[in-house]
Amino acid sequence: MNLSEYQGVWVFIEQNEGEIEGVSLELLGAGRTLADKLEVPLAGVLLGDGVRSLANQVVYYGADEVYIIDHPVLKDYRTESYMKGVIELAEKYKPEIFLYGATPNGKDLASAVATDLSTGLTADTTMLDIDLENRLFEASRPAFGGNIMATILCKKHRPQMATVRPKVMKALEVDHTRIGKIIEETISLKEEDMRTKVIQIVKDVSKKANLADAHVIICGGKGMGDLQNFQLLYSLADSIGASVGGTRDVVEAGWLPHHLQIGQTGETVTPKIYFAVGLSGAIQHTVGMKNSEIIIAINKDPNAPIFDVATYGIVGDAMEILPKLIEQFNELKNHTGGELSYV
Amino acid sequence: MHIVVCVKQVPDTKIIKINPKTNTLDRRSAPAILNPYDAHAVQEAVRLKKLVGGTVSVVSMGPPQATAIIKKSVEIGADEGYLISDRAFAGADTLATSYALSKALERIAKIKPIDMVICGKHAIDGDTGQVGPGIARRLDIPPVTNVIEVTEVIEKDKKVVIKRKLTSGYEIIQAQLPCLLTVEKEINEVEYSPLPNMIRAAKYESIIWTVADLENVDKVQLGLKGSPTIVGKMFSPPKPEGGIRLEGTANEQVNKLMDLLMEKKELFTLQTTK
Ligand SMILES: Cc1cc2nc3c(=O)[nH]c(=O)nc-3n(C[C@H](O)[C@H](O)[C@H](O)COP(=O)(O)OP(=O)(O)OC[C@H]3O[C@@H](n4cnc5c(N)ncnc54)[C@H](O)[C@@H]3O)c2cc1C
Ligand SMILES: Nc1ncnc2c1ncn2[C@@H]1O[C@H](COP(=O)(O)O)[C@@H](O)[C@H]1O
């Protein structure tokens, strides 16, 4: 493999029913930085049915080029049809780096593409960088157990691929003056050749509305002691209209259902205010919440790692602090005769 | 139907202790278990077998002690268990792992053709979820990842109807057999093993293969040699510019926090209720 033949940074643009996923825009932001360091173009790869109109948006968010494959068989995401398109593009244009959102579809696609291209793929990364001296992509992710990150390299194969956690990277400000090159490719796909069919897509927004879109989150950890004490968090949540989430240990203890787990193997959240109560702040947890605007940590151990990411830290017993906080918020409400909410 | 489940032995990350000084794992503290997602995968295979009949096999790649999780799978209800174990497999990343496992599956298919492969959504140690789709590609069968329900098996048409989890919501997919599924935890509850299974498991001898027992193996694609990715460095995550530690008694700290939050008024609005 002649590594120098491979140039440029690519981002797979995931769209669902004509709407680009947030993570793809975030990756254009992250990809822009990588491409600038390498002094190569940044390209978005857009597949679907009737998606040409989305190409401009990809450019406005930072891409120099957009590769498009528009085909009726690509209407819904399917591994077999999408991978065929992506692989043909990658083999023809040879990118050196290729990023995908770590969503169900992004991970599925990236795994299949990596296998066929016989290249390396790093899962669920949270930090991306370039080693300019060796012109190598450094994809880092929290490593198994403990507060440690591992940088994964792919030295001898191209493209260097990674899936990236949603809500970790930042999208650029949309710039409507940006101009990019649109490259449309054709592909031969026949519905009869497809071995899977999407029969129906059922949207469920109820769960999401709870955590991923919440403006204020109260997250409890194992330090709450027991299920009964954990209820204190709901009282605080009630007084400020917040949603309640938990660490994996809390979910394992059965105090909360899995879909309310925050962290690497749960939801990634970016609320305006995040209360971290009685949780230690293991990296698998903090990767899922550290981009919150204000993080308030309450922990009785002054050395708990959560204080390293907290905006405001309170060292103390949650059972003592929480009732006081609830009282204060309730007083504030009564005082102003209003309902507390957040913009 | 012949269903083969890929099962991996992993350290129990719930119990594993981390040495806070060196940031390394105390491996002795962690018992090796059947990857929890794979337990659900075996359970699902056993459920489908009860529904439509057939055989459930499991296959694992790992050190000789991994026969323990094959026994565990037999407890859940698997009929047969294969372990591929060889120094040549050591140090494999997901690409090399899916290659080795696909070679084992090809060998198993010679004994009895395979209709479905089931993997866990991910292994709790590596946490990638890449091996399943990788195997599907190598066997050239369609992968369906993040499965939360196998709704229907239509044996005469060789088709299955599946619910697959999406970022928000789910989709209903029809897939041709043979196919490969990766399953989420919510697909089922892993049941307590009935006594006859326990007895069978206690006596069960796994079938162990080395590389020499597999056919058409390109050794360059195995283990460390066949792994395009390597761990470059390990580091502590950069500490964000530390925030403010509130001082004083509990009351003082709470008051201070309220003051700080009120300074950030733009985050809150007070709506007057009628
Ligand atoms: C592959 C992998 C994936 C993982 N994914 C996730 C994930 O998605 N999400 C996640 O959260 N974790 C995840 N984990 C687990 C993670 O490593 C930690 O084990 C977990 O987050 C710890 O949960 P905790 O903070 O609730 O409990 P602990 O670590 O036990 O912390 C409890 C804290 O509460 C404090 N405390 C105790 N009593 C009080 C009190 N009265 N008042 C105030 N503070 C008190 C203690 O000082 C301590 O800091 C994962 C681990 C692995 C290996
Ligand atoms: N060494 C292995 N032996 C058997 N199955 C494996 C092995 N590694 C991974 N798998 C399967 O692939 C799934 C995903 O693993 P991973 O891609 O490592 O997260 C697991 O849940 C297993 O079903």
- Nearest-angstrom CA–CA distance, A85 and A90: 9
Interface of A with B in 29-68 (CB under 8 A): none
Is A121 in the same domain as A155?
Answer: yes
Question: Which residue's CA lies nearest to atom 14 of ligand 1?
Answer: A284
Q: Does residue A247 have a known ligand-binding role?
A: yes
Contact (CB, 8 A) for A159 and A93: no
Is A250 in the same domain as A174?
Answer: no
Is B57 in the same domain as B173?
Answer: yes
- Nearest-angstrom CA–CA distance, B257 and A296: 9
The reported pLDDT for the residue numbered A264 is 87
The CATH number that applies at residue B204 is 3.40.50.620
Closest-CA residue to A270 (of A170, A337, A188, A341): A170
Count of CB atoms within 10 A of residue B183's CB? 30
Is B34 in the same domain as B147?
Answer: yes
AA letter at B166: L
Greatest mean pLDDT among A266-280, B138-152, B222-236: B138-152
| C-alpha separations of B109 from B14, B116, B215 in Å | 35, 11, 12
The reported pLDDT for the residue numbered A173 is 94
Is B212 in the same domain as B244?
Answer: no
Pocket mutation for ligand 1, best pick of A211, A264, A319 (most atoms within 8 Å of C-beta) = A264
The reported pLDDT for the residue numbered B273 is 45
Residue A70 included in any domain: yes
Q: What tokens does A192 get?
A: 């009869």
Residue A123 included in any domain: yes
**B272: confidence class by pLDDT, cuts 50, 70, 90:** very low
Q: How remote is the CA of residue B45 from the centroid of ligand 2, in Å? A: 16
Do the chains contact at B267 and A207, CB–CB below 8 Å? Answer: no
Residue B108 included in any domain: yes
Per-residue pLDDT of A202-239, as tens digits, reads 987 654 457 877 889 999 999 999 999 999 999 999 88
**DSSP-assigned beta bridge partners for residue A218:** A244, A275
AA letter at B195: L
Q: B61 CB under 6 A from ligand 2?
A: yes
Q: Residue A75 has what DSSP assignment?
A: S
Q: B120 CB under 6 A from ligand 2?
A: yes
**B95: confidence class by pLDDT, cuts 50, 70, 90:** very high
Is B70 in the same domain as B135?
Answer: yes
Q: B146 CB under 6 A from ligand 2?
A: no
* Domain count across chain B: 2
The reported pLDDT for the residue numbered B241 is 56
Is B105 in the same domain as B151?
Answer: yes
AA letter at B32: A
Contact (CB, 8 A) for B145 and B164: yes
Per-residue pLDDT of B165-190, as tens digits, reads 998 889 999 999 999 999 999 999 99
Three-state SS for chain B is: CEEEEECCEEECCCCCEEECCCCEEEHHHCCEEECHHHHHHHHHHHHHHHHHCCEEEEEEECCHHHHHHHHHHHHHCCCEEEEECCHHHCCCCHHHHHHHHHHHHHHHHHHCCCCEEEEECCCCCCCCCCHHHHHHHHHCCCEEEEEEEEEEEECCCCEEEEEEECCCCEEEEEEECCEEEEECHHHCCCCCCCHHHHHHHHHCCCEEECHHHCCCCCHHHCCCCCCCEEEEEEECCCCCCCCEECCCCHHHHHHHHHHHHHHCHHHEEEEECC
The reported pLDDT for the residue numbered A202 is 92
Residue B141 included in any domain: yes
Residue B230 included in any domain: no
**DSSP-assigned beta bridge partners for residue B165:** B170
Residue A144 included in any domain: yes
The reported pLDDT for the residue numbered B270 is 52
Is A158 in the same domain as A14?
Answer: yes
Q: A284 CB under 6 A from ligand 1?
A: yes
Is A127 in the same domain as A219?
Answer: no
Name the residue in chain A with its Cα closest to that of B98: A115
Q: B119 CB under 6 A from ligand 2?
A: yes
Residue A205 included in any domain: no
**Where is the domain boundary, B193, B221, B249?**
B221
Is A188 in the same domain as A224?
Answer: no
Residue B234 included in any domain: no
Residue A203 included in any domain: no
Pick left, alpha or beta for residue A158 (phi over 0 → left; psi -120 to 50 → alpha; otherwise beta). Answer: beta
Q: How remote is the CA of residue A6 from the centroid of ligand 2, in Å? A: 30
Specify the range with the lowest mean pLDDT, choosing from B56-60, B159-163, B234-238. Answer: B234-238
Is B200 in the same domain as B244?
Answer: no
Residue scoring higher pLDDT (B272 or B211)? B211
Interface of A with B in 160-199 (CB under 8 A): 195-199
Contact (CB, 8 A) for A277 and A258: no
**Where is the domain boundary, A193, A226, A261?**
A193
pLDDT exceeds 90 at position B266? no
Q: Does residue A248 have a known ligand-binding role?
A: yes
Residue A245 included in any domain: yes
**Which whole number is the average pLDDT over A232-256?**
93
pLDDT exceeds 70 at position B21? no
**A340: confidence class by pLDDT, cuts 50, 70, 90:** low
AA letter at A89: L
Is A165 in the same domain as A219?
Answer: no
The CATH number that applies at residue A240 is 3.40.50.1220
**B236: confidence class by pLDDT, cuts 50, 70, 90:** confident
pLDDT exceeds 90 at position A265? no
**Which 3 state secondary structure label does DSSP give A159?**
coil
Is A28 in the same domain as A120?
Answer: yes
Contact (CB, 8 A) for B160 and B191: no
Specify the range with the lowest mean pLDDT, choosing from A54-63, A92-101, B124-133. Answer: B124-133
**Where is the domain boundary, A143, A159, A193?**
A193
CA distance, residue B229 to nearest chain A CA (Å): 5
**Which whole number is the average pLDDT over B139-156?**
97
- Look over chain A and give the mean of its residue pLDDT values, rounded to a whole number: 93
Give me the domain span that covers residue B83.
2-221
Pocket mutation for ligand 1, best pick of A148, A218, A285, A321 (most atoms within 8 Å of C-beta) = A285
**Which whole number is the average pLDDT over B225-242?**
81
Do the chains contact at A111 and B16, CB–CB below 8 Å? Answer: no
Q: B40 CB under 6 A from ligand 2?
A: no
CA angle B171, A59, A95 (to 5 degrees): 80
Instruction: Give percent of chain A above pLDDT 90.
Output: 79
Is B60 in the same domain as B96?
Answer: yes
Hey, is the C-beta of A19 within 8 angstroms of any chain B C-beta?
A: no
Is A189 in the same domain as A228?
Answer: no
Is A161 in the same domain as A227?
Answer: no
Contacts of B166 in chain A (CB under 8 A): 104-105, 201
**A54: confidence class by pLDDT, cuts 50, 70, 90:** very high
Closest-CA residue to A137 (of A61, A238, A30): A30
Which site among B8, B140, B253, B258 would you substitute to test the A interface, given the most A Cβ atoms closer than 10 Å to its Cβ?
Answer: B253
Residue B229 included in any domain: no
CA distance, residue B65 to nearest chain A CA (Å): 21
| C-alpha separations of A59 from A30, A50, A54, B105, B237 in Å | 14, 17, 9, 44, 32
CA angle A11, B99, B178 (to 5 degrees): 90
- Look over chain B and give the mean of its residue pLDDT values, rounded to a whole number: 91
Q: How remote is the CA of residue A206 from the centroid of ligand 2, in Å? A: 32
Which contacts (CB < 8 Å, 24+ apart) does range A173-176 have?
Answer: A174/A57, A174/A60, A174/A61, A175/A60, A175/A61, A175/A62, A176/A60
Specify the range with the lowest mean pLDDT, choosing from A204-213, A264-273, A318-327, B116-125. Answer: A204-213
- Nearest-angstrom CA–CA distance, B25 and A170: 32
Hey, is the C-beta of A261 within 8 angstroms of any chain B C-beta?
A: no
Residue A153 included in any domain: yes
The reported pLDDT for the residue numbered B27 is 59
**Residue B19 CB-density burial (10 A; 0-12 exposed, 13-18 middle, 19+ buried):** exposed
- Cβ neighbours of residue B198 under 8 Å, at least 6 residues apart? B75
Is B207 in the same domain as B260?
Answer: no
**Which whole number is the average pLDDT over B105-116?**
98
Instruction: Give percent of chain A above pLDDT 70.
Output: 95
Give me the domain span that covers residue A237.
211-336
Contact (CB, 8 A) for A119 and A86: no
The reported pLDDT for the residue numbered A208 is 47
Closest-CA residue to A81 (of A92, A72, A93): A72
Q: What tokens does A182 get?
A: 């649109």
Residue B172 included in any domain: yes
Is A219 in the same domain as A187?
Answer: no
**Which 3 state secondary structure label does DSSP give A322?**
helix
Q: How remote is the CA of residue B129 from the centroid of ligand 2, in Å? A: 7
Is A154 in the same domain as A228?
Answer: no
Q: A103 CB under 6 A from ligand 1?
A: no
Hey, is the C-beta of B157 within 8 angstroms of any chain A C-beta?
A: no
Is A256 in the same domain as A126?
Answer: no
**B20: confidence class by pLDDT, cuts 50, 70, 90:** low
Residue A47 included in any domain: yes
Is B109 in the same domain as B197?
Answer: yes
Residue B232 included in any domain: no
Is B178 in the same domain as B263?
Answer: no
pLDDT exceeds 70 at position B5? yes
Q: Which residues of A10-23 are buried (b: 16+ CB within 10 A; e: fewer)?
A: bbbbbbbeeebbbb
Is B118 in the same domain as B249?
Answer: no
The CATH number that applies at residue A53 is 3.40.50.620
Residue B15 included in any domain: yes
pLDDT exceeds 80 at position A39? yes
Q: How many residues does chain B have?
A: 274
Contact (CB, 8 A) for B215 and B179: no
**Which 3 state secondary structure label does DSSP give A324?**
helix
**Where is the domain boundary, A193, A224, A245?**
A193
pLDDT exceeds 80 at position B198? yes
- Nearest-angstrom CA–CA distance, A269 and A292: 7
Per-residue pLDDT of B27-65, as tens digits, reads 566 789 999 999 999 999 999 999 999 999 999 999 999
* Domain count across chain A: 2
